[in-house]
Every structure is written in structure tokens, then in C-alpha cells.
Amino acid sequence: MPSYDTNNIFAKILRGEVPNDTVLETEHSLAFNDIAPQAPRHVLVIPKGAYMAYDDFSSDASAEELVDFHRAVAEVIRIIEAEEKGFRAITNARTHGMQEVSHFHMHILAGQLMGPLLAS
């Protein structure tokens, strides 16, 4: 497993070095609009801690961080009014997942039919 790259763009956002369009901030998590939205609503939810992907976050984060993150996801779904019609939550990891930014993030996509799970 590679080590965490402190120069990734989301680390810069967390340090306030790069601006973001914040949707929600909690003690341990930040949610902001994706810069290149793939749906009418496209929000990224990230932990403030230095985790690279869903698996190291899930195994290494504290109970408080884990609860905070998942409650933030639920709150974002309420904020973007996706409770009734639904949403897609995606997280990519490393090479096969085609992860571009190596700070763990959950994509919340909503506002349209999402189509098949994987494009061929």
C-alpha cells in the first residue's frame, strides 16, 4: 500500500490552500461540490483525517470518525433533496478503481437516473 500523499488536492482543500464549494462541514468530515459534476448534484464527502481509500478508512479510522463520516453522507443526501428519488454513492480505490485523488472520498450523485452500474 502506498503512503498518504500530503500534496493531493483534497489535502490542499482541507488545509485551506485550494477553495471549495462546501455543502457541509462537521468535526471530522467535509462535503463539497465536485468541480466537474457528472450528475445534476455531485457532492464529494471526505474525512478530515489522512486516509487514502475506503478500505484504510474503514479499518483505521476511529469510531467517532466513522460515525461522523456516515452521518455526514446521510445529511448531504438530505441537503441535496435526494431522499425521495434516491442517489448513487460511489467510492473508487487505487488503480483498478481508477481513483484520481488519493484522499478517500465518497461521490454522492443525484438528480437523474444513473443508468447501469458499470459502463462497458
Residue 29 near ligand 5GP by CB under 6 A: no
DSSP string spanning 25-75? E-SSEEEEE-SS-SSSEEEEEEESS---SHHHHHHHS-HHHHHHHHHHHHH
Instruction: Using alpha carbons, select from 82, 90, 87 the residue that is nearest to residue 45.
Output: 90
Residue 18 near ligand 5GP by CB under 6 A: yes
Among this protein's residues, is 70 annotated catalytic? no
CB of 39 to ligand 5GP, least distance (A): 11
Kindly tell me which residue out of 32, 51, 69, 104 binds ligand 5GP, with binding defined by CB under 6 A. 32
Question: 33 pairs with which residues across the strands?
Answer: 43
Residue 99 near ligand 5GP by CB under 6 A: yes
Residue 93 near ligand 5GP by CB under 6 A: no
CB of 89 to ligand 5GP, least distance (A): 12
Known catalytic residues are 105
